[in-house]
Amino acid sequence: MSDSSPDKPTSPNFDAALDFRSGWSYSEAPESSDYIELDENYGHYIDGRFVQPSKGRYLESINPATEKSLAKIADGTGEDVDAAVKAAGKAFKSKWSGLPGRERGKYIYRIARMIQEYARELAVLESMDGGKPIRESRDVDIPLTAAHFFYYAGWADKLEYAFPGRKAEPLGVCGQIIPWNFPMLMLAWKIAPALATGNTVVLKPAETTSLTALRFAEICSDAGLPDGVINIVTGAGQTGSNLVNHPDIDKIAFTGSTEVGKIIQKSLAGSGKRYTLELGGKGANIIFEDAAIEQAVEGVINAIFFNQGHVCCAGSRLLVQESIADLFISRLKDRMETLIVGDPLDKNTDIGAINSKAQYDRILNYLEIGVEEGAAIYQTQAELPKSGYFCRPTLFTDVGQSNRIVNEEIFGPVLTIQTFRTPDEAVEKANNTPYGLSGGVWTDKGSKIFQTGRALRAGVIWSNTFNKFDPTSPFGGYKESGVGREGGLHGLYPYVHLTS
What is the DSSP secondary structure assignment for residue 181, as one 8-state letter? S
Instruction: Please say whether the beta carbons of 226 and 111 come within 8 A.
Output: no
Q: How far, in Å, CA of 193 to CA of 51, rounded?
A: 26
Task: Output phi, psi for 278, to 5 deg.
Answer: -110, 110
Q: Which of 278, 409, 480, 486 is catalytic?
A: 278
Active site residue 313: no
* DSSP per-residue letters across 193-210: HHHHTT-EEEEE--TTS-
Q: Which candidate, 492, 481, 467, places its Cα nearest to that of 278?
A: 481
Task: Determine the number of helices (DSSP H) and then strands (DSSP E) in the chain.
Answer: 16, 22
DSSP class of residue 84 equals H
Angle among Cα 238, 244, 250 to the nearest 5 degrees reads 155
Q: Which of 186, 191, 229 is nearest to 209 (CA)?
A: 186
In the residue annotation, 312 being an active-site residue is answered as yes
Name every residue whose Cβ is closer than 8 Å to that of residue 5 and which is 6 or more positions away in sequence. Answer: none
Asked if 105 contacts 153 with a C-beta cutoff of 8 angstroms, the reply is yes
Q: By C-alpha distance, which of 313, 346, 394 is closest to 131? A: 346
Backbone angles phi, psi at 346, to 5 degrees: -85, 125
What single letter denotes the amino acid at residue 154?
A: G
Sign of the Cα pseudo-torsion (368, 371, 376, 381, in order): positive
How many residues belong to the chain? 500
3-state helix, strand, coil in the chain (%, to 5): 40, 20, 40
CA distance linking residue 378 with residue 296, whole number of Å: 19
Cβ count near 146 (within 10 Å): 22
Nearest to 426 by CA among 414, 408, 436, 441: 441
Whether 403 contacts 315, CB under 8 Å:
no
DSSP 4: T
- Of 220, 312, 313, 391, the active-site residue reads 312
Phi/psi of residue 97, each to 5°? -65, -30
284 pairs with which residues across the strands? 317, 439
Which residues does the annotation mark as catalytic?
A: 278, 312
